[in-house]
Amino acid sequence: MAPIASGPMIPRRTLLRASLAGALLVPAAAALQACGSSGNGGSPTSTGLIVNRPRLTHGVATGDPRADGAMVWARSDSAARMVVETSATEAFSNPIRVEGPQLTPATDGTGRVRVTGLEPGQTVHYRVTLEGEDGATSEPVVGVFRTAPAQPQDIKFIWSGDVVGQGWGINRQGGMAIFGAMADRRPDFFVHSGDAIYADGPVPETQKQNDGGMYASVTAPAKDHVAQTLDDFRGNYAYNLTDEHYRRFNATVPQLVQWDDHEVTNNWFPGESLNGQNRKGYTETDADKLAGYAYQAWREWQPVEPAEAVDGRLHRKIPYGPLLDVFVLDMRSYKNPNPEAWAQSDDGGVLGPEQTQWLIDSLKKSTAVWKVVANDLPISIVVPDAATDPAGGPKSMEAVAQGDNGRPLGREIAFSRILSETKDVHNIVYLTADVHYTAAISYHPEQAAFADFAPFWEFVSGPLNAGAFPQSPLDGTFGARYEFVHAPTDKDTSPAQGFQHFGEVTIDSDSRALTVALCDASGTPLYSKELLPA
């Protein structure tokens, strides 16, 4: 298969400089302490006094790019002002300065500022510096992003999910190299489909693989128990960013971030009690209380601004020029209970009634050629939830489908409405992760129990650094059919054994064709599908 065309050029020297910023990192455990508690290196003043310099602890990141800029994120080890400078070149001649917020222990030292006023469709170099209360400044950390285009341009973006799952931590031999491979593809942005952390997944020093080999992980205090406090959840994000590949990726690829279940605990839903579920290590059984801590840590440690979302939380549309709109869903915050998967009626489903209507209306209003829906849970892959199976009743389900191949039930009812009411909207593609393998799924109304929709595709990718699993069955309610699957035959296959994946989407500005490639951890395409615009 021919290589996928590269996106906008980002100088390799810039990437290396962003990677070298890792030398500034403090241990992940420091994220669990107050910002001012870490010992800083001192620097002399003109009077000979030693002052403490603030320090950027976990690299930099950007998110939710727009035609005029992007959100920039950073973290300080002490109280300091965040300052961002942007330039058209990495020499930073005539930089534009933007003063960000004061970074304090109230947000675990994290902060973000939206940079605006930039030209559309341009590569932007940025650097972040901290200005301390004593006038001392930090060493800068650099990165690069690309603004969304205002005119038709070639587009390349990637998506995947599932980081540090099933106890498979940062590999002591090579780290999480898949993030380096994704950065090397030079995408315009990355859709993170959820499970950015596994708050419920402690990381042991070693873990036996199912092929008999031994996997050795980097360890940290935050990852030796399940997360049940705000600092626990914060520490999970800090741990992931001790990986040099992840930091380089964050510095050079803007992100559209979702959340899924493992940011809180496996398969959770609002209102759930963990009592009687035999969840190892948990003393807190109120899922909503855990979710409150988890959501605060998510919004602190990700390059997002919840105030820009539709409801001030997460779901939102990211316009990316005349060729593309991306609809980022929240399939967790408004989810109905998993045991209601077989309900005869559905008031809210997995999205809730307001988000469901927002998606329908937004797809209808979109004037972009392609409408990509980032759904962090798959539509027709059957994902059971054994922990909440009702006694003597039908199996509880985590995702949308039940596996009965019949008329829509439970969460399928809302999705049948979405598919039906948008059947005249052309060029909708769904992208998901969650199931820890990669696949291409086509949907056919002539083969479906519910047929009031137009044919479409759903593509699956992942995991990024987690256990890989065999393929799951498909529900036939919407006529789903596997066209390609790459998955192991054994459960919980180690990241070192392969089956780690990301997907890459390109849109050609001339033909307007959208091509999806499903790639392995090195970036080698395993499958490719070109879709022509209607």
What residue spans define the domains of the chain? Answer: 12-146, 155-531
Residue 93 has a CB neighbour count (10 Å cut-off) of 8
Average pLDDT over residues 238-248: 98
**Taking the CB of residue 2, how many other CB atoms lie within 10 A of it?**
6
Token digits of residue 287: 């899922």
pLDDT of residue 42: 53
Amino acid at 76: S
Residue 49's pLDDT is 53
Distance of alpha carbon 372 from alpha carbon 327, whole angstroms: 6
Cis before 187 (ω within 30)? no
Are the C-beta atoms of 479 and 443 separated by less than 8 Å? yes
Fill in the amino acid letter for 216.
A
- The span from the CA of 217 to the CA of 202, in Å, is 11
Determine the topology of domain 155-531 in CATH: Purple Acid Phosphatase; chain A, domain 2 (3.60.21)
> Residue 204 corresponds to which amino acid?
P
142: three-class secondary structure by DSSP: strand
In this predicted model, what pLDDT tens digit does every residue of 192-214 receive, in sequence order? Answer: 999 999 999 999 999 999 999 99
Q: Judging by DSSP bridges, how do beta strands 50-52 and 42-44 pair with one another? A: antiparallel
* 3-state secondary structure at position 453: coil
Provide the H-helix boundaries in 194-274: 230-240, 244-252
pTM for the whole structure: 0.92
Q: How far apart (Å, rounded) are the C-alpha atoms in residues 318 and 371?
A: 10
DSSP sequence for 323-352? TEEEEE--SSTTPPPGGGGG-SS-SSTTT-
At which residue do the structure tokens 């001649």 appear?
93
Q: Which of 483, 399, 472 is nearest to 437 (CA)?
A: 472
Q: Describe the chain by its helix, strand, coil percentages, rounded to 5.
A: 20, 30, 50
Q: Give residue 391's pLDDT.
A: 83
Using alpha carbons, select from 315, 425, 427 the residue that is nearest to residue 375: 315
SS3 131: strand
Q: Is the pLDDT of residue 169 over 60?
A: yes
Token look-up 């001012």 returns 36
CA atoms of 294 and 299, how far apart (whole Å): 9
Residue 261 structure tokens: 């279940």
Alpha-carbon dihedral 73, 78, 82, 84, rounded to 10 degrees: -70
Radius of gyration (C-alpha) of the chain in whole angstroms: 23
Rounded Cα distance between 401 and 379, Å, is: 6
Q: What integer pLDDT is reported at residue 50 of this predicted model?
A: 54
Residue 35: pLDDT above 50?
A: no
pLDDT tens readout for residues 449-475? 999 999 999 999 999 999 999 999 999
- Asked if residue 457 lies in contact with residue 380, where contact means CB atoms within 8 angstroms, the answer is no
On the question of pLDDT at 10 being above 50, the answer is no
Q: What is the 3-state secondary structure (H, E, C) of 395-436?
A: CCECCCCCCCCCCCCCHHHHHHHHHHHCCCCCCEEEEECCCC
User: Domain 12-146: which topology?
Assistant: Immunoglobulin-like (2.60.40)
**pLDDT digit string (tens) for 109-141?**
999 999 999 999 999 999 999 999 888 999 999
Alpha-carbon distance of 529 to 350, in angstroms, equals 29
Q: Residues 363-407: pLDDT tens digits? A: 999 999 999 999 999 999 999 999 999 887 889 999 999 999 999
- In the structure, what pLDDT confidence band is assigned to residue 23 with cuts at 50, 70 and 90? very low
**Predicted confidence band of residue 348 (pLDDT cuts 50, 70, 90):** confident
Alpha helices in 312-426 (DSSP H): 353-365, 411-421
Nearest to 243 by CA among 209, 207, 219: 219
Token code pair at residue 512: 């307007």
Q: Residue 251 carries which DSSP code?
A: H
Question: Which residue is listed with tokens 């998967």?
Answer: 341
Helix (H) or strand (E) holding 182: helix 177-184
Q: 379: phi > 0 → left, psi -120 to 50 → alpha, else beta; which?
A: alpha
DSSP state at residue 307:
G
Closest CA to 238 of 177, 279, 197, 288: 197
Q: Which residues contact 458 (CB under 8 A, 6 or more apart)?
A: 375, 378, 379, 380, 429, 430, 431, 432, 441, 443, 480
- Mean pLDDT in residue range 78-106: 96
Q: What is the pLDDT of residue 41?
A: 47
Question: Tens digit of pLDDT for each residue in 257-272?
Answer: 999 999 999 999 999 9
Q: How many CB atoms lie within 10 A of CB 94?
A: 8
**Which of 270, 274, 289 has the alpha carbon at shortest distance from 230?**
289
Residue 30: the pLDDT is 41
